[in-house]
Structure 1
Amino acid sequence: MELLQLQYFLAVARLEHMTEAARSLHVTQSSLSKTIQRLEEDLGAPLFDRTGRKLRLNEIGRRFLRRAEKALFELEQGKQEISDLTSPDHGTIELAVTNASTLPNILREFRKKHPHIQFHVQMLTTQEMITLLYRGEVDFCLSSPPIKGDEIECQIVYIDPIHVAVPMEHRLAERSSVSLKELKDEWFVGVKRGYRTRDLVDSVCHSAGFVLHYVYEGNEPARLSALVEAGIGIAFIPSTAMNSRENIKYLQVEDHELVREIALLWNKNRYISRAALEFREVVVDYFGTLSKN
C-alpha cells in the first residue's frame, strides 16, 4: 500500500465522483482509476459500489476511509511539526470564518509581528467549517455560533451586539433605539437562512409575534450595508460589521438582548505551531480591546 494510493482514495471517497476527483488532484481519470483499482487489489476487497459511471462508498470503503483519514492526518501533523522546528518564522496558517468583518484588522495586527507568515482564509458555511475542523484541515475557525464537540476546543472571544441599520432619510433615523414591534411593517435586507445572525433575528422576532419581510436575501453579509444605504431596506447588523463611514444610522434594540457569540475554534488533535499560538493571542487581544471600548 502506497501513500499516493491513500491520498487518491480520500479524494475519490469524499467526492464520490472520479472525474471531479481527478480534476482536484490534477491527474488523468485513467491514472486515478488504475490507482484506486490497485489499492482495492492490495486490500482484497472493493471499496466502492459502481453503477455505470456512478460511484458510492460501500461499507468496507466507509470503514477504511476513517482509518485512512486518521493515518494521513497524523502524517500531516508530523510534517507541520518538523516545519515548525526548522522554520518557525515561516509557514502558512489555515483559517476558516463564517463572517469576515473582523478579519482584516486581526490579520493586519498579526502581520506586524510576523511579516513572513502566510495565510489561507476560507469563508464557509457553518457545516462546511465543521467538516474541515473535524478533519483537522484548518488551524483555527472564527465562528458565530460557537461549536462544541469532543475533538473541538471552543473559546468565546466576544459578545457582539446586533443593531438595526437604517438609511439617514428613514423615519427612525433620528432615534438612538427602537423596539422590535416597531419594525414589524418594515422591509428588510438580510442573508439567507442558515447564517447565525439571520436565524437568531428571525427567532427573536417570531417570539415577539411577527415575521420579518425580506426584499433581499443573499450570502454576502458585507453587501447589506450598501443596500441599506441605498434605501432598499433596513437590516440587522452586528456591531463588528458596522461602518461609521457609511451614510447609515445604527439603532440599539430596546426590549431584547440581541447579541451573537463569536468563538475561536480548533481541533484538539491538530498540531498548533508557535505562529498559530501567537495568532490565537492576537485574536483574543483584539476582541478584548473591543470589549473595553
Structure 2
Amino acid sequence: MELLQLQYFLTVARLEHVTEAARSLHVTQSSLSKTIQRLEDDLGVPLFDRIGRKLRLNEFGNSFLRRAERALFELEQGKQEINDLSSPEHGTLKLAVTTASSLPNILREFRKKRPNLQFHVQMLNMQEMITLLHRGEVDFCLSSPSIYGDDINTQVVCIDPVLVAVPKGHPLAERDSISLLELRDEWFVGVKKGYGARDLVDSICESAGFTPKYVYEGDEPARLSSLVEAQIGIAFIPSTAKNSNEHIHYLKVEDHDLVREIALLSHKSRYISRAALEFRDVVVEYFGEMA
C-alpha cells in the first residue's frame, strides 16, 4: 500500500466524483482510476459503488476511510513538527474564521512578533469550518458561536454584544436602545443562513415573536455597514465589528440578552507550533484589552 494511494482515495471519497477528484489532484482520470483500482486490489475488496463517474463509499470504504484519515493526519502532524523544529521562524499559519472583523488587527499585532511567517486564512460558514476543524487541517479557527466536541479544544475569548445599526436620518437614530419586537416591521441586511451571527439573531428574534425580513443576504459581513449607510436596510452588527462611521448609529437591544461568543478552536490532536501558540496568546490579549 502506497501513500499516494491513500491520498488519492481520500480525495475521491470527499468529492465522490472521478473528474473533480482528478482535477483537484492535477492528474488524469485514467491515472486516478488505476491508482484506486490498485488500492482495492491490495485490500481485496471494492471501496466504492460506481454509478457512471460518480462514486459512493460502500461499507468497506467507509470503514477504511476513518483509518486512512487518521494515518494521513498523523503523518501531516509529523511533517508540521519537523518543519517547526528545523525552521521555527518560517512556515505558514492556517486559519479558518466565521468572524473576521477583528482579524486584521490581530494579524497586524502578530506580524510584529513573527514577520517572516505566512498566513492562509479562509472565511467560511459554520459547516465548512467544522469540517476542516474535525479533519485537523487548520491550526486555529476563530468562530462565533463556540463549538464543542470530543476532539476540539474550545477557548472562549470574547462575549460580544450584538447591536442594531441604523443609518443617520432613520426614525430610530434618535434612540439609544430598542426592544426586539419594535423591529418586526423593519427590513434588514445580513449574511446568509449558516453563518453563526445570522443563525443566532434569527433564533432570538423568533423567540421574541417575529422573523426578520431580509432585503439583502450575502457572505461578506464587512459589507453590511456600507449597505446600512446607503439606507438599504438596518442590520444586527456585533460590537467588535462596529466602526466609527458618523453616518451609522448603533442601538442596544433592551429586552433580550443578544450576545455572541467568540471562541478560538483547535483540534486536540493537531501539532501546535510555537508560532501558533504565540498567535493564540495574541488573540487572547487582544480581546482581553477590548473587554
**1:203 maps to what in 2?**
203
**1:95 maps to what in 2?**
95
Counterpart of 1:208, as a letter, is: A
Q: TM-score, normalised by structure 2?
A: 0.97
- State the shift of 1:128 in Å: 1.0
Residues 198-231 of structure 1 show CA distances to partners (whole Å, capped at 9, x for unaligned) of 2222222222222222212222211111111001
**2:80 maps to what in 1?**
80
Question: After alignment, is 129-138 or 245-254 more displaced?
Answer: 245-254
C-alpha contact (below 8 Å) 2:205/2:211 kept by paired residues: yes
**1:139 maps to what in 2?**
139
> Structure 1 segments of 4 or more deviating over 6 A?
none
- State the shift of 1:182 in Å: 2.1
Counterpart of 1:229, as a letter, is: E
Equivalent residue pairs, number: 291
C-alpha contact (below 8 Å) 1:146/1:156 kept by paired residues: yes
- State the shift of 1:52 in Å: 2.3
- State the shift of 1:194 in Å: 2.1
Q: Distance in 1 between matches of 2:53 and 2:181?
A: 55
What is the SS of the residue equivalent to 2:174? coil
Counterpart of 2:289, as a letter, is: T
Q: Distance in 2 between matches of 1:269 and 1:212?
A: 40
C-alpha contact (below 8 Å) 2:49/2:56 kept by paired residues: yes
**1:11 maps to what in 2?**
11
What is the SS of the residue equivalent to 2:155? strand
Residues 228-283 of structure 1 show CA distances to partners (whole Å, capped at 9, x for unaligned) of 10011111100111111352011111222210000000001000000000000000
What is the SS of the residue equivalent to 1:115? coil
Q: Distance in 2 between matches of 1:116 and 1:61?
A: 42
C-alpha contact (below 8 Å) 2:127/2:194 kept by paired residues: no
What is the SS of the residue equivalent to 2:153? strand
What are the equivalent positions in structure 2 for 1:191-230 lying under 5 Å apart?
191-230=191-230
* Identity among equivalent pairs (%): 78
Q: Distance in 1 between matches of 2:51 and 2:256?
A: 55
What is the SS of the residue equivalent to 1:105? helix
- State the shift of 1:193 in Å: 2.0
Q: Any gaps of 5 or more consecutive residues in structure 2?
A: none
Q: Distance in 2 between matches of 1:54 and 1:204?
A: 41
Q: Distance in 2 between matches of 1:192 and 1:117?
A: 33
Q: Distance in 1 between matches of 2:136 and 2:180?
A: 41
What are the equivalent positions in structure 2 for 1:271-290 lying under 5 Å apart?
271-290=271-290
Question: After alignment, is 48-57 or 268-277 more displaced?
Answer: 48-57
Q: Distance in 2 between matches of 1:103 and 1:71?
A: 33
C-alpha contact (below 8 Å) 1:165/1:251 kept by paired residues: yes
What are the equivalent positions in structure 2 for 1:18-37 lying under 5 Å apart?
18-37=18-37
Residues 76-119 of structure 1 show CA distances to partners (whole Å, capped at 9, x for unaligned) of 11111111111111111110001211111110000011001111
Q: Distance in 2 between matches of 1:194 and 1:167?
A: 26
What are the equivalent positions in structure 2 for 1:148-163 lying under 5 Å apart?
148-163=148-163
Counterpart of 1:129, as a letter, is: M
Q: Any gaps of 5 or more consecutive residues in structure 1?
A: none
Counterpart of 2:248, as a letter, is: I
Residue 109 (str. 1) matches residue 109 (str. 2): yes
- State the shift of 1:51 in Å: 2.1
Q: Superposition RMSD on alpha carbons, in Å? A: 1.1
Change (3 A) 1:4 1:246: farther
Counterpart of 2:27, as a letter, is: V
Question: After alignment, is 272-281 or 123-132 more displaced?
Answer: 123-132
